[in-house]
Structure 1
Amino acid sequence: MARHNLSTVIGFEFTRTVTKKRFWAITLILPLLVFGLGALIVASNVSTSNTADEQKNARFEFLYTDASGLIDPGVARQYGGSAIGSSAEGVEEVQIGGTTAYFDYPADPATEQVKIWGADAGLFQNSRYAAVAESLLSTSVEQKLDSPTDVAVLRGDVKTSTTTFKDGAVAPGFEAILPALVFLAAFFVVIVFLGNQMLNSTLEEKENRVTEMILTTINPTNLLIGKVVSLFLIGLIQIAAFALPVLIGYLFFRDQLNIPDFDLSGLVFDPQKMIVGALILVGGFALFTGTLVAVGAVMPTAKDAAPVFSVVIFAVVIPLYASGFAISSPQSPIVQILAFFPYTAPITALLLNAFGSLPLWQAIIIIVELFVLAVIVLRLAVRLFRYGSIEYSSKVRIRDVLGRRSTAPERAA
């Protein structure tokens, strides 16, 4: 029987996956859920900010005493406030319902608390009392300043503009970071959303008890390489599906989602960053794919492989928790360890590369490390799959496979 070549395997695996309704459901639903959640968070933040402004500008009748002498009576009247003789009287008025609230300003508001009593209006609405009390105090202090400049400084309305130089030329800012960050986002999306598919790429045949029959007509090396290449192509589809809602949201719903209007024409595509980012992305993808394929060749069922898959996802997420160190202290020991450890290197190195903190020599070492280890892991996966194809009920012991000599030369493609 003629043996299937590599292109046949790639075509079969790719077509089998993309023709499944479940694949498209997951591919389309997950991005929509992620960006829907993002839009909900943005809307919630906007609503909270608007509510805080409304509370600060709220007007209601209240009483106050001022031991500091900072409160301007005219401003207090505009806010709806009236002075009262003592704290005891103010508290009593609130208790009997004679006033909505009472503010007791101490002699030194900078070191002492402003005490507030008010009628209960609900947990969230009760915060308007503090907002009005603070606004009244700050507005009264501003009234005592003669210069509008002093008022602007006090409010924090001072505007700044920063220009930096690198090698004698104006250094690009975020415009040079954003293009390289695309590789980081692509790697994270592919591994998180496609990792389970990588794991099941070999487990599916084992669970269906068809691996022996497949290996009689297909070279195991071609089979696994075909699976890896098809997964890469599927990953490109998922990246496109994930990026599409971003593009649509930016082009058509920017105002509704309060997305900043970036000048995309100002983006800087640094050739070194882009090449390094692409190589790290491919090398990291190959390493993780080979690892998960090898795990699938060792484990008898998806249930047995699930804990290992969780560890792989954990390795992807860990560098994100250390992203603050990677940005602010790229030479710190923890960042360097994460950058050179193979399974945390892709995310860490892509982050360092985007922010210009990855020297070329270090990038070369990491890229070589990823590709070399990916080849080793993939060769191991081929051997594990060949000898573990008939192990349907127990895990394959890697030590036994490595110590066993092949009884026959590998079939020609």
Structure 2
Amino acid sequence: MSLANTSFTEKVWRLSPMYLLYFTLFGVFMPYIARFLTANGLTEQEASSIIAVVNGVNVFAPFLFSVLADRSGRRLFYIRLGYVGMGVFYLLALAGSGFWYYLTVFGLFGVFLSAVLPQMEAITLAILGRERSRYGQIRFWGSLGFVVVVWALGFLLETYSVAILPIAGGVLSLLMFLSTFLIPEQEKSVVAHEPKVELGGSAINRSALQIDRRQIAILLAVIFFWQVGMAPYNTFFDLFLRLQGFSTTSIGFLISFGAICEIAIFIYISRLFNHFSERHLMSFALLVTVLRWLIMARFADSFVIVLLLQSLHALTFGVVHSVAVHRIGRLFPANKASQGQGMYVAFGSGAGLFIGNLLAGWLWQGTGLIYLQAAMWSLLALLLTWFGFKDKPAGVAGGPDID
């Protein structure tokens, strides 16, 4: 059975549980992992080093599965393998202690966490086909799961030990594994199918078009700088707000509220693509990102201001991520889809968050300094986007609009 020719509603019903559960697990891990590690005797600097490694494995881990998945076409097999690995290593966090133990366990957890995402994205974009601009309507289910679990954990961690985090992660990994059976394995010929593009009155395969390596390099650099700037938010937002006097419940609400605003963008992003270019969408979102971090550095002691800044997460993450995924899908031919998404993860969630977490750990003083440097990196991403992006260049794999 192929989902490519079914209705969009059918595609959403089968694909959305995979995103819902994956990003629910992400919500169990990322916002609270620093709390888990410091509660188990590690310093903030040790915690940031471990989180940097978890993100750093994204530099190579996505390609462990991507090359094999692209060659075999069995992407679901590697997704299932990754889910099993995630559950095993997250639960092992309860079996030991100490910096080197946690570094090993969470480092291996991170390998599987990052290795499955490019396969998820490649399967989704392949199934959506000409409807890939509606990707956000499937991805938003991931944000919904993130919202629910972060908010719920904000309440639960007021009463229960941080040991509930690995337990929740193990349960979610099992559910993620089961959710993949809603999606039929695509045959290799389907996965690697190359849509025809009309150029000069003749139809040719998209894979035969020249890949615009310069535009790919610029996009990956933008993603890298953007994620370096996002690292202090991903890792230290919880600890930073606790120092400002916020309760765990309030912090959980604020993180969830940001994700709720992000959901709205994922629902309506296809309409924005119809009216604005990728360059203009990305530039505006990155400009707002610079402003968000500058204000956070100075006014984080105000609940109202932080709440307003969290509403900007719709732009600073939702739009940037959606444009990046959309542009990767346009710049890379279908038979290299997993490798394209893998490069996105490697440069962004991998190298970007690795460097960003190390910098945030070194600069950590409990002050807004980490957000000032985040604004600087976001500004670099903005300048690269504005002066470097070309919209729909002609005669290359990322050129003609074949949606």
Tell me the TM-score normalized by structure 1. 0.34
Higher relative contact order (CA 8 A, sep 6+): 2
Q: Larger radius of gyration, structure 1 or 2?
A: 1
